[in-house]
Structure 1
């Protein structure tokens, strides 16, 4: 069965408008997990409403026409599907899946697919909206989308997960919610390169003559057309973003920090893909990572943690407990947020800092590695106290940026660096031969290799991501100064201005 909603007016435009939609309790329920509720008071908005509130704050200062803002705020199309799957025990289970396309001002739309029991329509709409703004902030020419399947992937065998993934992809194919030029999914919570391979292969079976089929999804393994650097991209983007903001004099003045990563203490909530790589890159640049939080427990050591050793231990044991005799262990992942540090990276779930715990947050800089970890009320409190909040739509945009690079690679059908690596090396070799002759000194073999080495795919991906984050951070900084607003509002303002320019420039067919 499939339930398809396509609309150009807001399904999520306002509480009043939502109340006019026919009652669909399973579609429009709020998130109610303890993990996303414990930091929040009952009057604090849902994740979706938080995104809307942040958008509205920026929209009011944007000077954009009300009609354009209404169009921009609305979700373009939503798909809900259900389908039966026979499990290995012989029982049949009905699986529920979603895909939301928030804005098709640029094509394709882009956004991950998550596997979680908490997936619902409201969540994917919120995440799709955030993806639109995220892509615009970092100048990735995609619209925003998001999807998910309402399952706990740990409860299924690999064979069952493959059947679920392929069947969901078939539904997306039939409803035109996946294609290289229309809608390109990616990994998210509970999914990874394996699931992306299944999605690509299924799409290819239904579109056997599409030479660009590999570009229907990103986050694939290298053997299936993936790009080097994609796995660590989001965490690396968080590191680049925090590094840039710490270098700004106004941030240093506000926080009292030196601006050097090597002088900072860092705590990361979450040790999945984003959290691990964020911690890894901070540590590699000399920062002292003093705390890591995970679902089972958190570990805290003011002397600093060996991130690589901790990650290996966690992969083997599934817990931090027992890693160190000197470290402090805290139940769950929430308490680690309240420890004293210079930089806090919430890289786990949404709504982790709210009215309940915001007064106990001591970090000078909060870099949002996760989507929506700080509620609007908490955000206002942190900013009023002089703490700097670096917003999710900018900080965790590294993933979609490198997904863009993977998409380009799949469409061009050539590995980055393949055409020019050796040519670059030969030019550098000639240059340094001349330098050696004039300097009267011959370089050692190690020096020669380091200088002459041409850029590999990973080098180009890292370079492209770093340049993207530097530019986006500087744009956000400038808008914040010009408009006298915080960095989150500035990032939303930049996104709104860019998207509105596309809508108004195109004339918005049939609007008038």
Structure 2
């Protein structure tokens, strides 16, 4: 996932992350009220299980020592090990990790996975560090986490500004700390690894594929097709690129893109692969792409289109930006891109929203497949992975769609209700120790 915003000052950052926590709690309480969640279980799910904050030193290339702060929040593990990404971004702090960890709990539960929710990362702008420095930072962070992660306890994955290389460093560092006889059995301590190092074929495109498939299923529910549908993407990283890739193959047309560096538009269409190749030669930026016009950051939200895919950071669709949106469908590729006030504006205007815990769940489902592959000593090929992924995603989408219709609620509330009820059932059946 690409960085969307420039480095934020501390005051702005606090407002942003506080908003994310407020959002997730309001969404949770709305669903909990709808299903009459047991008060005691509501108490448990309203807080996190564990919150880990680590300050650790790393030697830079010039010999100086720099101190970094890393986080790992473990929200709930009633259904299985904690599962969730690690992001490297200046906005990472304990409040952000709390909100994101809660979202992961609902996401894994909705997908029917044997996981709970966790999240974390390092408060850092990775663009300011060399590859060798990022490797040392990652390995030192992994060592500091020590026994707080593990293949049957807490399983990190890539997130904003982390990738398969990051996961390979984490896996290697973690396995190096285990007794020799146990090292090979701990390869699934992380998911999202390179295919040659225990990773899963297709993991790179899984989240974007899930976004695309969710959109396709919604369009089909409207007795329509994707052909000639105009869409725009906020964030042209892994999720945004792959979602656009699959949509374009179905005949849809990319008309606008925004990343950390700027916004571009071309109503005649932006060829996805051409733009992707351009970013490789332009330091990852879409700016000055010759086949589109540069537009203002705020103008981006008002671009005329059918589908909007926010696939960057949280709190992008607000009461200020939501009224500008002309799309009739918002498909949340990012985690928490729409705040509560922004959502109210969209729903009032009749804009449909495919919620993040459903729309971008392809990544964690593929992570589960990778975890199983490592755990069982198997090797799954691309076609098998994509078929299994599509089946799982369709099942989740249909469940949410039916629940929303039967209960006359929006799709986010429906998704939360299904996810929370599954966790509630586990607590009722097992009881509370002691």
TM beyond 0.5: yes
CA RMSD of aligned residues (A): 1.7
Q: Helix, strand or coil: the match of 1:350?
A: coil
Q: How does 1:71-470 map to 2 (within 5 A)?
A: 71-173=44-146, 176-207=147-178, 208-210=180-182, 211-248=184-221, 252=222, 258-318=223-283, 319-324=285-290, 327-332=292-297, 334-416=298-380, 457-470=381-394
Work out whether residues 288 and 294 of structure 2, in 8 Å CA contact, stay in contact via their aligned partners in 1: no
Distance in 1 between the 2:288 and 2:93 partners? Answer: 37
Q: Equivalent residue of 2:308, what SS?
A: strand
Matched, 1:54 2:33: no
Q: Is the 8 A contact 1:68 1:503 kept in 2?
A: yes
1:32 is paired with a residue of what secondary structure?
helix
Residues 168 and 194, structure 2, Cα contact 8 Å, conserved in 1: yes
Deviation string 1:419-463 (CA, Å, 9 cap, x unpaired) is: xxxxxxxxxxxxxxxxxxxxxxxxxxxxxxxxxxxxxx1111111
Separation of aligned partners in 2, 1:381 and 1:472 = 26
CA distances 1:451-503 after superposition (whole Å, capped 9, x unpaired): xxxxxx11111111111111111110111112111000000000010111111
TM-score, normalised to structure 2, is 0.94
2-structure distance, mates of 1:190, 1:140: 25
Q: Which of 483, 493, 497 is the aligned partner of 2:421?
A: 497
1:269–1:337 CA contact under 8 A, matched in 2:
no
**SS in structure 2 at match of 1:48:** helix
2:12 corresponds to: 32
In the TM superposition, residue 45 of structure 1 has moved relative to its aligned partner by 6.0
Report if the CA contact (8 A) 1:296-1:331 is conserved.
no
Mark the CA change 1:49 to 1:411 in structure 2 (over 3 Å): closer, same or farther. Answer: same
Deviates more, 1:258-267 or 1:146-155: 258-267
* Greater gyration radius: 1
| SS of aligned partner of 2:181 | coil
Q: Is the 8 A contact 1:276 1:311 kept in 2?
A: yes
Structure 2 portions without partners, runs of 5+: 1-8
Instruction: Normalising by structure 1, report the TM-score.
Output: 0.80
Q: Which residue of 1 aligns with 2:6?
A: none
Cα distance in 2, alignment partners of residues 313 and 107 from structure 1? 42
Alpha-carbon deviation of 1:87?
1.2
Please tell me whether residue 481 in structure 1 is matched to residue 417 in structure 2: no
Aligned equivalents of 2:137, 2:287: Cα separation in 1:
34
Q: After alignment, is 490-499 or 258-267 more displaced?
A: 258-267
How far did 1:271 drift? 0.3
Separation in 1 of the partners of 2:168 and 2:322? 41
Give the Cα separation in 2 of the matches to 1:381 and 1:95: 39
Q: Which moved more, 1:129-138 or 1:262-271?
A: 262-271
CA distance in 2, matches of 1:31, 1:471: 42
Structure 1 unaligned regions, length at least 5:
1-28, 38-43, 253-257, 417-456
User: What secondary structure, in the 3-state scheme, does the structure 2 residue paired with 1:97 have?
Assistant: strand
Q: Is the 8 A contact 1:107 1:183 kept in 2?
A: no
Deviating beyond 3 angstroms after TM superposition, the runs of 4 or more aligned structure 1 residues are none
